[in-house]
Amino acid sequence: MALLRAAIGFLSLLPILSLSLVASVASIALVAMAGGARAQEDAFPNLIPARKQFGFVLKAAPMKPRAIGFYTRGCLAGAEEMPATGDAWQVMRPSRNRAWGHPTLIRYLKWLAREAKAKDGWPGLLIGDLAQPRGGPMLSGHRSHQVGLDADVWLTPMPPRVLTRKERETISATSMLASATRVNRKVWTPAHVRLLKRAVSRPEVERIFVHPAIKKALCEAAGPDKHWLAKIRPFWGHYYHFHVRLRCPPGVAGCRAQAAPPTEPRCDKELAHWFKLLTRKPKAAKKKKKKRKPRPPLTLAGLPKRCAQVLGYDKPPLLRQVAPRGNDIALPIRRPPHS
């Protein structure tokens, strides 16, 4: 009956939960009524997809800052929110509530915004998605951005005024591409090169993801000094923003590092391989195969154990804070998982 009581507790939040989450909880309650005598109360959170649990939380976990797990499978304790407007930045898409990060990430973004404005001729940063208030899998879009050490920064320069909330929700970022293999020189400028060189210069930066055509443009602009390009990594998408990934902060137990990036710039063979992939002709349609059974959704059981504590499962369910359905906004561009 413990499972049933927990489910009923969640159902009391009906006015502010999405219909999909309510349906999930209702089905769990029925299972408990049908024969859940052996169910444990701690099994309840593992029956709801983790993205629905993390995606509806409004506030950060009041805990010591900690990035927990891996970039694509983890959570975030003690997150700090990036201020919506600063002297050299503005946060875009505020309704997503994804402007949270480990304090190390917030400090880095403020530093980059101010340095680029003062020294590189960049008018200011338009900042996209960081992480949710407690990290974890998102309702839509990214597979990474789960531990508060990832940030998307638009390649569109910040306008010389404070944008309205409506503008921050509706303005589109500018694509830097003229084709799959080259940038558009009408929008790509030397200031973009200076910005990315500045962004990758800090030792806490693990790598930065950009579109292969942008990496090519950086290689061409760098001249003989190409050492800084080693941590600029080509990847699918990333043609209207760049994705900064920081290293696990020193001394943070439970944060799993990614394999180190290459030490050489890789401006030749690697880019040629990417362009071959980007320009290949689509394969002819094959006979329809039987549909594979979809993978079960990731639950708390698939995340580090500390993530249950981050969500507050050491407290009664009714004390947890959840966001309204308006926070569930689909992203317009597919983002494949980062390697």
Considering the domain boundaries, does residue 187 fall inside one? yes
Residue 322 Ramachandran class (φ > 0 left, ψ -120 to 50 alpha, else beta): beta
Domain count of the chain? 1
Considering the domain boundaries, does residue 295 fall inside one? no
> What is the per-residue pLDDT for 140?
83
Considering the domain boundaries, does residue 82 fall inside one? yes
Q: Which amino acid is at 32?
A: A
> What is the per-residue pLDDT for 71?
95
Q: What average pLDDT does this structure show over 137-144?
A: 87
Query: Given the structure tokens 């929110």, which residue do they identify?
Result: 81
Q: Supply 279's token pair.
A: 């320009």
Q: What average pLDDT does this structure show over 121-141?
A: 94
Q: Are strands 182-183 and 177-179 parallel, antiparallel or unpaired?
A: antiparallel
List, for residues 214-228, the tens digit of each pLDDT value: 999 999 999 898 999
Considering the domain boundaries, does residue 250 fall inside one? yes
> Residue 149: which CATH number?
3.30.1380.10
> What is the per-residue pLDDT for 264?
92
Q: Please state, in angstroms and rounded to a whole number, the distance separating the CA atoms of residues 7 and 35.
A: 14
Residue 107 has pLDDT above 70, yes or no: yes
Considering the domain boundaries, does residue 97 fall inside one? yes
Residue 42 has pLDDT above 80, yes or no: no
Q: Supply 58's token pair.
A: 């409004």
Considering the domain boundaries, does residue 216 fall inside one? yes
Considering the domain boundaries, does residue 240 fall inside one? yes
Q: Please state, in angstroms and rounded to a whole number, the distance separating the CA atoms of residues 158 and 77.
A: 30
> What is the per-residue pLDDT for 13?
41
Residue 3 has pLDDT above 60, yes or no: no
Residue 323 has pLDDT above 90, yes or no: no
Q: Please state, in angstroms and rounded to a whole number, the distance separating the CA atoms of residues 196 and 29.
A: 51
Q: How confident is the model at residue 128 (pLDDT cuts 50, 70, 90)?
A: very high
Residue 320 has pLDDT above 60, yes or no: no
Considering the domain boundaries, does residue 303 fall inside one? no
Question: What are the C-alpha distances in Å from 98 to residues 61, 82, 213, 277?
Answer: 14, 9, 28, 32
Parent domain of 169 = 66-280
> What is the per-residue pLDDT for 322?
45
Q: What average pLDDT does this structure show over 167-181?
A: 95
> What is the per-residue pLDDT for 332?
34
Q: What average pLDDT does this structure show over 48-74?
A: 94
pLDDT higher for 268 or 292? 268
Q: At what angle do helices 103-119 and 190-199 cross, to 10 degrees?
A: 140
Q: Please state, in angstroms and rounded to a whole number, the distance separating the CA atoms of residues 307 and 69.
A: 9
Q: Supply 146's token pair.
A: 């789960």
How close are the terminal C-alpha atoms of the chain, in Å? 43
SS3 label, residue 115: helix
Q: What is the pTM of this model?
A: 0.80
pLDDT higher for 134 or 323? 134
Residue 339 has pLDDT above 80, yes or no: no
Local structure of residue 246 (DSSP, 8 states): E
Q: How confident is the model at residue 285 (pLDDT cuts 50, 70, 90)?
A: low
